[in-house]
Amino acid sequence: MSQTMELGVGGMTCASCTARVERSLKRLSGVEDATVNLATERATVTFDPAHVTPQDLVNTVRSAGYEPATAD
């Protein structure tokens, strides 16, 4: 059963940044879809929690060079 979560992504300044974050998230096994909104600085990620965790998503955003923020 897949799950969808929103994740804050800070540090993006152009449209290519959003594409880079989307690509890095989609490369993770277990991530089914990732869309990043530059204006709202949020990523919407659909994933299978049996294969990838919210912490993995956070770590990936940070590794890509941006600043992740969880909703809570």
Closer by beta carbon to ligand 9UX, 13 or else 29: 13
Residue closer to ligand 9UX (CB basis): 23 or 51: 23
In the complex with ligand 9UX, the residue whose CB is nearer, 32 or 41, is 41
**Exposure of 14 in the CB half-sphere (CA atoms within 13 A):** 1
As a whole number of angstroms, the distance between CA 10 and CA 43 comes to 10
In 1-72, which ranges are continuous DSSP H helix? 15-26, 54-63
Site for ligand 9UX in 4-33 (CB under 6 A): 13-14, 16-17, 20
Residues at the interface with ligand 9UX (CB under 6 A): 13-14, 16-17, 20
